[in-house]
Structure formats: C-alpha cells, structure tokens
C-alpha cells in the first residue's frame, strides 16, 4: 500500500483524536487537514504503517500545540467529556492517545516528544483527576 492510501486509512483516527482534543468539529477537521498537508510536504515519511501512524499523530500534535490555547475549563464537571476537557492539555493529550487511540507509552512518547516516564506520570495524574472529578459529581448527585 502506498503512502497516500496509508494516510487515508488514518483519517478517521486522526479526526477522532482531534475532535476529542478540541471539542469543536470544524477546528478538529482543520487540525487534521493541517497535519495531513504537513505529511504530504515532508519527504521523510516512514514506510511501514505503524511508524507512519505514530509520525502523523506527531504532526497532528505539533499542529495542536502550536495553536493558541483557550482558557482552562472549570473544575467540577457533570459528564465524562467535560471531565476530560477539565484535564490539563498535557494530561488530556496523553490520556486520549493511550485510552482512545490505543498507542503504547513508547509511541505516545515519540508522538509528543517526551520521555516514556513522563507519559506514564501524566497518564497516572490524568486518571486520578478524572476519578476525582467523576466521583465528586456522583457524590453530589447522591446528596441532592
């Protein structure tokens, strides 16, 4: 399979990850387009599918972090999607790549350009934060 076909197969996963990061369909699609345009311009694309996937997600990540950030979301949230939005951008990136996109810690480290230990630490903190947010909401609902 040639590179354009491999890239085309990655579009649904790229869109899902971008939409989860941005919570805005149009902005997410623009981010995916930006990453795919970068991939098509660069001649150093890996030949095998697994490395290409990691490389393209890395391009998407770089496009994401180079965008202006919105103000942080407030702490207490009512559902899982809002709780994810309440994570720090660094925790959200790691959580989504591991949990939603099923990347290994090593692949996430390569995508984000950080050590594997940092991936593991951010994921642990993200999971604990989500647990705290979601359990806090469950307790509030039981009390009412």
Of the residues 10, 45, 68, which one is the last residue of a structural domain? 68
pLDDT tens digits for 4-47?
Answer: 788 889 999 999 999 998 888 888 999 999 999 888 887 677 77
Count of C-beta atoms within a 10 Å radius of residue 114 = 16
Instruction: Say whether both 78 and 13 belong to one domain.
Output: no
Name the 3-class secondary structure at 1: coil
The average pLDDT across 98-119 equals 95
Label residue 137 exposed, middle or buried (CB < 10 Å: 0-12, 13-18, 19+): middle
Nearest to 63 by CA among 93, 33, 35: 35
Instruction: Say whether both 61 and 82 belong to one domain.
Output: no
Instruction: For 48-111, give the secondary structure using H, E and C.
Output: CHHHHHHHHHHHHHHHHHCCCCCCCCCCCCCCHHHHHHHCCHHHHHHHHHHHHCCCCHHHHHHH
Q: What is the pTM of this model?
A: 0.59
Instruction: Say whether both 89 and 32 belong to one domain.
Output: no
Calpha distance 140→9 (Å, rounded): 43
Instruction: Say whether both 28 and 83 belong to one domain.
Output: no
Q: What is the pLDDT, as a whole number, of residue 1?
A: 66
Calpha distance 46→136 (Å, rounded): 44
Distances (CA, A) of 23 to 8, 129, 141: 22, 19, 25
Instruction: Say whether both 63 and 78 belong to one domain.
Output: no
Instruction: Say whether both 62 and 80 belong to one domain.
Output: no
Expressed as residue numbers, the domain containing 55 is 1-68
Number of folded domains that form the chain: 2
CATH of the domain at 21: 1.10.1740.10
Instruction: Say whether both 26 and 80 belong to one domain.
Output: no
Instruction: Say whether both 78 and 124 belong to one domain.
Output: yes
């Amino acid at each position: 399979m040639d590179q354009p076909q491999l890239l085309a197969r990655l579009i649904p996963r790229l869109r899902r990850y971008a939409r989860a990061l941005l919570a805005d369909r149009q902005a997410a699609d623009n981010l995916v387009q930006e990453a795919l345009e970068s991939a098509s311009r660069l001649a150093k694309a890996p030949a095998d599918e697994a490395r290409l996937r990691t490389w393209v997600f890395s391009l998407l990540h770089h496009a994401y972090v180079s965008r202006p950030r919105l103000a942080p979301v407030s702490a207490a949230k009512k559902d899982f999607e809002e709780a994810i939005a309440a994570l720090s951008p660094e925790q959200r990136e790691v959580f989504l790549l591991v949990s939603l996109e099923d990347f290994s810690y090593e692949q996430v480290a390569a995508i984000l350009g950080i050590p594997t230990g940092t991936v593991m630490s951010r994921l642990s903190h993200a999971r604990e934060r989500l647990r705290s947010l979601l359990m806090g909401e469950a307790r509030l609902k039981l009390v009412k």
